[in-house]
Amino acid sequence: MGEKVMYDTIFARSFSRSDQKKLGYAAFLGCLLIALSFCLVFKPYSTFLPFRLNASEQKRTKIVCSSEKRTEFCEINGDIRIEANSATVFVSVSPQESIILAEENNSSRIIRPYARKEDEYALSTVRKWSVKPVSDSKLIPKCNQNHSVPAILFSLGGYSGNNFHDFTDIIIPLFSTARVFDGQVKFLVADKNPWWWVNKFQNLVQKLSNYEVVYIDNETDIHCFNNVIVGLKRSPQELSIDPSETPAYSMTDFRQLLRNAYSLNKTSAIKLEDHKSRAPRLLIVARNRTRSFTNTDEIAAMGRNLGYQVVVAEADSNVARFAQVVNSCDVMMGVHGAGLTNMVFLPENAILIQIIPFGVAEWIVRDAFKYPSDGMNINYLDYKIEAEESSLIEQYPAGHEVLSNPISILKKGWVPFKQVYLDKQNVKLDVNRFRLTLVKALELLHQ
């Protein structure tokens, strides 16, 4: 006690009161600096502390896998190595990260990177990819090719090659997934089937990625990235984008990309109230195989009598050419089928008329084209044909269940139903009855 009093007295004599305060502040700051240095040095070993820093506060590997109604995908950040031979996306992790990923239920995952989940027929042609975190460096392959930009791995299996599925299962989901990268992303394409797919949609692919496509199945090298998405994000609805998702894109954004990719100059359908001397353009989408019009000339003549400028054309592999044809028109009509997917090229406020084949339930065809039209700012009309307008009356006798009870055929399964009502049916429109639908379209163009 006496020593402490003597020390305090000497201290007081040597320094003024203000100096003592300054020394006190300096000592306090010095202690803070020492404590901060201690934390920085020992942070990697801080798991023994009674709390754990959350993921956003640590620069560590992240694997976030999502399973949604129509798709599943994994978003990965870290040391990622892709080995095509085993269809494995290796993710190099530390033992600590491996434990955290397991706790988050984001350890190993099998993904079929085609956005039509639960359709086992479509997925039967899609290769399974394993997302596999590995903490043992001896079990992870060494890199042959290092990439400085992110990658998206997706499949061209399933129903690719069918125009409707090309857009709803691949192109629109690819836009939703890739647009955020603004071209700074590489596409790793699995299941190169059909082989011409990328060439057919080259204009779109080049708008979404600044790099050559990598056909990953053929690669013997180990491709390494810091950011990879396995699978594609998509809306549960066909030909749609959910604008509430993050990042917030919409079908308006997608259609603007189409206009840029294919140099589509017509942004809005004609407004007849402002252009009374101009004829609206009507496109009749022809089909040469099934569900074709057998009286196209008669339909075209009736359209011209109503004041339309009529164009008859069939979609083919030349997307750029047909996109120009569609975009130049104000009204597009056709029998239910993949050809109507070209509605994506129509200008704003244009009109789509879907001809519903005999025996086909409205909900089947409206899910495909009616509901998506709202998101595209396209007016929708449909026309359901009667038995007398169907070629099925020439194939089956009166009273046959195909004509009298289509639901009974559907109950036998989708394949026999499709074979009858979609694969073997052509259409001869009753032009007098259908005339009312084209008149309604004219009324919409006046609004």
pLDDT in tens, 133-174: 999 989 999 999 999 999 999 999 999 999 999 999 999 999
343-352 residue pLDDT tens: 999 999 999 9
66-123 residue pLDDT tens: 999 999 999 999 999 999 999 999 999 998 888 887 877 777 899 999 999 999 999 9
User: Is the backbone of residue 413 left (phi > 0), alpha (psi -120 to 50) or beta?
Assistant: left
Bridge partners of 225?
80
Q: Which residue has the higher pLDDT, 12 or 38?
A: 38
**Where residue 409 falls among pLDDT bands split at 50, 70, 90?**
very high
Note the pTM of the prediction, 2 decimals. Answer: 0.85
| H helix or E strand, kind and range, residue 93 | none
| H helix or E strand, kind and range, residue 374 | helix 371-375
The answer to whether 129 touches 110, Cβ cutoff 8 Å, is yes
Q: Locate the domains of the chain by residue range.
A: 62-252, 281-446
The answer to whether 294 touches 391, Cβ cutoff 8 Å, is yes
Mean residue pLDDT of the chain comes to 88
Bridge partners of 129?
111
Say how far residue 396 (Cα) sits from the centre of its chain: 42
CATH architecture of the domain with residue range 281-446: 3-Layer(aba) Sandwich (3.40)
**Where residue 27 falls among pLDDT bands split at 50, 70, 90?**
low
- Please compute the mean of the pLDDT values over residues 413-421 and round it to a whole number: 94
Which pLDDT does position 157 carry in this prediction?
A: 96
**Where residue 35 falls among pLDDT bands split at 50, 70, 90?**
low
Q: What backbone torsions phi and psi does residue 258 show, to the nearest 5 degrees?
A: -60, -45
Q: State yes or no: pLDDT of 34 exceeds 80.
A: no
Which pLDDT does position 20 carry in this prediction?
A: 47
CB atoms within 10 A of CB 369: 22
| H helix or E strand, kind and range, residue 314 | none
- Please compute the mean of the pLDDT values over residues 310-316 and round it to a whole number: 96
Cα separation, 90 vs 285, in Å, equals 47
171-187 residue pLDDT tens: 999 999 999 999 999 99
For the record, the structure tokens of 339 come out as: 């050809």
Cα separation, 229 vs 78, in Å, equals 12
- Please compute the mean of the pLDDT values over residues 325-348 and round it to a whole number: 97
Q: State yes or no: pLDDT of 342 exceeds 70.
A: yes
| Closest to 317 in 3D by CA, of 161, 118, 433 | 161
